[in-house]
Structure 1
């Protein structure tokens, strides 16, 4: 399968990150932060430098991964006319321009701040559910999808920690509600661990046929203690689930990119060390 890496997980120095990625035969560079800026904030001159570096290292870009619609920029009370919302759409348009310049098929979005309980029954629907939170979400995502449709590019909504879509199940529910081929899932199964959703088979089956892009890392979650520990590949709670997931993706003919999310360090704060500790196992499983 096609393997990538989120480059700033190695280094925000793009030239160095690409050199290290190529050392391990990685051919796809997902862009999130480059130098001192988030993708979408670079000048035209800086973007041309990025493009040249990618060409020099023979790397393709699978996804433009700005943090669009995260945190307070999108919540139940948000209106599409709010300035904070319009700012996010402006960021989206800039990222679409970057995607077209660099040949990326996808631009990432998120789904706003998470409400803890979205659905309920037998009394919970009255006392515990954040009433109207889920129903408000599709209307807030649809304007972004309409822009993608006009620009003939695809968006991927990430299953993210602290966001309304924090599991494969909620991702599939949103995709079905929007009903556009221009919105797919950016599946990050490690993030779904905090929602206690197994990567395989539960998570995978929920979004089978809806996946546009994938992030892979390993973690250990302790929800009662509100603690998340990133671990070396195959030393966390997903260790036994990677292989069957990879086999299912191959059997189903998944033709997107799987990006290694290098957010682990071995206690020294050096994420390149974390990348080097895990990348071979990642390649063995998903390559």
Structure 2
């Protein structure tokens, strides 16, 4: 039986780390993934604040399971932007070492043309990251997103396999597939494409009807988590399952908030929605005999 480690992205609950710690402890989670705190992206926090956050998480008996970074959500054709994001990658690699995590989530540049046309340039820029990743001992977890070139599992898999480095792996987010313009199925299609390259998993759910996608509580949408969880257990996955709520009970996150999630406006109403997601997800795990390590 696989022993999944369960986490949550902190700003899906609140911009206050203390709130995320409280919820994580209440629901028996193992870790927290950091994206924005105090209304700021992680790399904009002071050194003292970072030390305080690390101490709070450690003292609560939790791990930092990853850093959700905005790395390579930028214009591939703009050399200055790309150079700035390579510097940002190094900064997050430093933060990962400080916060004792080995996972940095990142992307494949804003989509402004056909994926196949941009493919060689994306591969080149990803290959450029390997020396920094190796220096700091962290993995770059490449995530599919509807706003970037790699919108689904098949495209992420193609990039990861072409780069062919143990430092660049895949982040599997089946919920993101519900927004994929190509319509790739979250499971089994995206999973089968990524299966040998997955180092990290984000968990969200959604419903897609008549060309429109709406986020819902985990297990209430069309991802198919019952079959997916059984398959993960069968395949022996023992990594993180990190809840990334991405919906709110009394409001709707804007396209811009989904594209660039961060800050107080994004987190507003997040605790209630995340609690609903955690309760439904933990119930789903329990129904299928899964355990949290």
- TM-score normalised by the shorter chain: which range applies? 0.7 to 0.9
Q: How far is 1:116 from its partner? A: 6.0
* 1:63 counterpart residue number: 66
Match of 1:148 among 107, 117, 133: 133
Match of 1:15 among 2, 8, 18: 18
Give the alignment's TM-score, normalised by structure 1: 0.87
In structure 2, list runs of 5 or more residues that go unmatched: 252-267, 286-291
Q: How far is 1:223 from its partner? A: 6.7
Q: Indicate if the aligned counterparts of 1:199 and 1:245 stay in contact, CA closer than 8 A.
A: no
* 1:44 counterpart residue number: 47
* 2:179 counterpart residue number: 194
Equivalence map 1:153-164=2 (5 Å): 153-164=138-149
Q: Indicate if the aligned counterparts of 2:154 and 2:190 stay in contact, CA closer than 8 A.
A: yes
Q: Give, in whole Å, the separation in 2 of the partners of 1:104 and 1:113.
A: 26
Equivalence map 1:180-191=2 (5 Å): 180-191=165-176
* 1:212 counterpart residue number: 199
Runs of 4+ in 1 over 4 A off after TM superposition: none
Q: How far is 1:56 from its partner? A: 2.1
SS in 2 for 1:254: coil
SS in 1 for 2:245: coil
Q: Give, in whole Å, the separation in 2 of the partners of 1:159 and 1:223.
A: 22
* 2:260 counterpart residue number: none
Q: Give, in whole Å, the separation in 2 of the partners of 1:116 and 1:201.
A: 27
> Which structure is richer in relative contact order (CA contacts within 8 A, separation 6 or more)?
2
* Structure index of larger Rg: 1
Give the alignment's TM-score, normalised by structure 2: 0.85
RMSD: 1.6
Q: Give, in whole Å, the separation in 1 of the partners of 2:11 and 2:207.
A: 22
How many residues align structurally? 265
Q: Give, in whole Å, the separation in 2 of the partners of 1:218 and 1:246.
A: 13
Match of 1:106 among 103, 106, 111: 103
* 2:246 counterpart residue number: 263
In structure 1, list runs of 5 or more residues that go unmatched: 120-131
